[in-house]
C-alpha cells in the first residue's frame, strides 16, 4: 500500500484516490522569466519520479504542471531586454523543455499556461467577489479577504496572526488587512493587459494556479505538489481562493519537495552560489545530476557541491559498469529485488532505499557474471527496468562511462585521437611518447584501459 507524507496533515497516510485506479496530480511549475536553476531541477525530477511510480503500480495518472507566463518578474525582465513578454516566455519555455529532456524527465500530460486561462481566472474572481471573499480596493486592484476564510493557515498549521508576525507582507493602503493578497492588478503603462469587470489589468500569481488546477482537474483532486518555497504564501492562498469559491477541499494530499543548498548554504545570486541547469550540464553528464537528486528522499534537503556530484558520478559508474556488455533482450523477471524496490517506493517514494536495493542487485549481478550467464542476463534486465523508474541507466554504458564528466574540455573525439597517436607510438616502440600521452590524459581526468582487444578509456 502506497503511503505519502501529506503536508496538510503533517503525517504519512495511506493513499486512496478519489476515483479508484485514477489519480489527478497538479504541480506548480515555473515562472518563465529566466533559465531553470538546480532548485527547479529538484522539483522537476522529484515529481517525474513520483509520476513514473504511480503509473508503474497501475494508476491512470493525469499529471498537470502549469507554466506562469504573466507575472511581475516576466514584465520587468522583458522590459530590461527590450522584448515582448511573449517573446521572452516563449524562449524560456523552449529552454526549460530542452533542460528537462536532457535531465531525463518525461513531460507532464498537460502544461497549461496562465495566459490561456484569463477568462477562467476572471470567472473565479467574480465568484469570490459575489461571496464576499474578495473586494476592489481604492487603487482598482482586486484583493482576497483572507480573514473571511476561517481555515486560512491550515496548510502551514498556523493562525493568521502568527503567520503575519514572521512573514514579509506588502502593506498597501488599498488593503483592508495586511494579509489580503491581490487577485487582479490594474494595468500600468506599457504592461500587457486584459479587459475585466474591474478595468484593464492582469491576474495575480496565486489566482492563476487556482483557475488552472480547477479547470484541468476539477474542484477536488488527489495530489497537489510543488517546491518548498511555495508552501506559504502561494499554496496557502490557493487553498483559500479555491475552497472559498467551490466549497470543496482542493486537494486530498499536499506534497512539497525539499530545498537545494550549495555547500550547506542557501542558493542565492547574491552569494555567488547560484547555478542554472545549463551551468551544470556544461560539465557533468545529466544523469549524474539526476542521481544526486535521487540519492535523497524528495522531502529532504540536498547539498549541492562538487564533492556531492563526484560521489554521484562514482555511484552511477558502478551501476553502469555492472550493465556493461550485458544482454538487454532478456525478459523481465521480478525477484526479491523488485519487491524490495517497490516497498521502498511505496514508503513515501523513498528513493535512497530504492537505490540501495539497486546496489544490492549489482553485487549479485557481478557475482553471476563469472559462472551463470543466464542469471546475469536476468539480473541485468531487472536492473534496467527498476532503474528506469528513477530515470537512471538510460544511456549506453560505454557512452556514459566515456562522457560522465567533460574534464578539461576534452571531447571524446580528442581523446580517441590521443589514443590513436599512442597506439602508433607503441607500434613504433616510442614508449616515451606512449607514456607521455597516458600521463597527459591522466592529468586531465582520463584513464586508459589496455586489453587484448585494444585500448578503452573512462573519465576519472
| CATH code assigned at 120 | 3.40.50.620
Q: Report whether 333 contacts 381 (CB < 8 A).
A: yes
Domain shared by 200 and 183, yes or no? yes
Domain count, the chain: 3
In angstroms, the CA 231 to CA 209 distance is 13
| Per-residue cell: 131 | 461571496
| 114 part of a folded domain | yes
| Torsion on CA atoms 113, 45, 391, 337, rounded to nearest 10 | -130
Q: What is the pLDDT of residue 413?
A: 81
* Judgement on whether residues 343 and 443 belong to the same structural domain of the protein: no
- Which residues carry a binding-site annotation? 28, 209, 234, 238, 269
- Residue 165's Cα: distance from chain center in Å? 31
Q: What is the pLDDT of residue 166?
A: 47
Q: What pTM value is reported for the model?
A: 0.89
276 part of a folded domain: no
The pLDDT assigned to 172 comes to 63
Same domain, 378 and 447: no
Going by the annotation, the residues of the binding site for ATP are 269
Q: Does 286 reside within a domain?
A: no
Residue 278 maps to a domain? no
Binding residues for Zn(2+): 28, 209, 234, 238
**Bridge partner residues of 37 (DSSP):** 276
Mark whether 236 and 336 lie in a shared domain: no
Q: Does 134 map to a domain?
A: yes
433: containing domain: 407-459
The answer to whether residues 393 and 415 belong to one domain is no
User: What pLDDT tens digit does each residue of the chain (460 aa) get?
Assistant: 999 999 999 999 999 999 999 999 999 999 999 999 999 999 999 999 999 999 999 999 999 999 999 999 999 999 999 999 999 999 999 999 999 999 999 999 999 999 999 999 999 999 999 999 999 999 999 999 999 999 999 999 988 877 665 444 455 678 999 999 999 999 999 899 999 999 999 999 999 999 999 999 999 999 999 999 999 999 999 999 999 999 999 999 999 999 999 988 887 776 777 899 999 998 899 999 999 999 999 999 999 999 999 999 999 999 999 999 898 788 999 999 999 999 999 999 999 999 999 999 999 999 999 899 999 999 999 999 999 999 999 999 988 988 887 655 677 788 889 999 999 999 999 999 999 999 988 888 788 888 877 888 877 6
Give domain status of residue 196, yes or no. yes
- Is residue 447 in some structural domain? yes
Q: Is residue 265 part of a domain?
A: no
Amino acid at each position: 500500500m502506497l503511503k505519502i507524507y501529506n503536508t496538510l496533515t503533517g503525517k504519512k497516510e495511506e493513499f486512496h484516490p478519489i476515483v479508484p485506479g485514477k489519480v489527478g496530480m497538479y504541480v506548480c511549475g515555473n515562472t518563465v522569466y529566466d533559465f531553470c536553476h538546480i532548485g527547479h531541477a529538484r522539483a522537476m525530477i522529484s515529481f517525474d519520479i513520483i509520476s513514473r511510480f504511480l503509473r508503474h503500480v497501475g494508476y491512470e495518472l493525469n499529471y498537470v504542471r502549469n507554466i506562469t507566463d504573466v507575472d511581475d518578474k516576466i514584465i520587468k525582465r522583458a522590459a530590461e531586454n527590450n522584448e515582448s513578454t511573449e517573446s521572452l516566455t516563449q524562449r524560456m519555455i523552449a529552454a526549460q523543455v530542452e533542460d528537462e529532456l536532457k535531465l531525463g524527465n518525461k513531460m507532464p500530460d498537460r502544461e497549461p499556461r496562465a495566459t490561456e486561462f484569463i477568462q477562467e481566472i476572471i470567472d473565479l474572481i467574480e465568484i469570490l467577489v459575489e461571496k464576499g471573499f474578495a473586494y476592489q480596493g481604492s487603487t482598482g486592484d482586486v484583493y482576497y479577504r483572507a480573514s473571511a476564510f476561517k481555515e486560512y493557515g491550515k496548510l502551514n498549521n498556523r493562525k493568521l496572526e502568527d503567520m503575519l508576525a514572521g512573514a514579509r507582507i506588502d502593506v498597501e493602503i488599498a488593503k483592508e488587512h495586511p494579509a489580503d493578497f491581490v487577485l487582479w492588478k490594474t494595468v500600468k503603462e506599457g504592461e500587457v493587459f486584459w479587459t475585466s469587470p474591474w478595468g484593464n489589468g492582469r491576474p495575480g500569481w496565486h489566482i492563476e494556479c487556482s483557475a488552472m488546477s480547477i479547470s484541468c482537474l476539477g474542484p477536488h483532486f488527489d495530489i497537489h505538489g510543488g517546491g518548498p518555497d511555495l508552501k506559504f504564501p502561494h499554496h496557502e492562498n490557493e487553498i483559500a481562493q479555491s475552497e472559498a469559491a467551490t466549497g470543496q477541499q482542493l486537494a486530498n494530499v499536499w506534497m512539497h519537495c525539499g530545498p537545494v543548498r550549495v555547500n550547506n548554504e542557501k542558493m542565492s545570486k547574491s552569494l555567488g552560489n547560484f547555478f542554472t541547469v545549463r551551468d551544470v550540464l556544461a560539465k557533468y553528464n545529466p544523469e549524474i545530476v539526476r542521481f544526486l537528486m535521487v540519492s535523497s528522499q524528495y522531502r529532504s534537503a540536498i547539498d549541492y557541491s562538487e564533492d556531492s556530484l563526484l560521489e554521484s558520478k562514482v555511484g552511477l559508474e558502478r551501476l553502469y559498469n555492472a550493465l556493461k556488455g550485458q544482454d538487454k533482450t532478456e525478459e523481465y523477471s521480478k525477484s526479491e529485488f523488485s519487491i524490495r524496490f517497490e516497498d521502498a517506493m511505496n514508503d513515501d517514494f523513498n528513493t535512497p532505499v530504492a537505490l540501495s536495493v539497486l546496489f544490492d542487485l549489482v553485487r549479485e549481478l557481478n557475482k553471476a557474471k563469472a559462472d551463470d550467464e543466464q542469471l546475469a542476463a536476468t539480473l541485468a534486465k531487472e536492473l534496467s527496468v527498476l532503474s528506469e523508474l528513477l530515470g537512471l541507466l538510460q544511456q549506453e554504458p560505454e557512452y556514459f562511462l566515456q562522457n560522465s564528466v567533460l574534464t578539461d574540455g576534452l571531447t571524446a573525439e580528442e581523446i580517441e585521437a590521443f589514443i590513436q597517436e599512442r597506439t602508433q607510438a607503441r607500434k613504433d616502440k616510442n614508449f616515451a611518447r606512449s607514456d607521455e600521452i597516458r600521463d597527459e590524459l591522466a592529468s586531465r581526468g582520463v584513464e586508459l584501459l589496455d586489453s587484448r582487444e585494444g585500448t578503452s578509456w573512462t573519465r576519472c
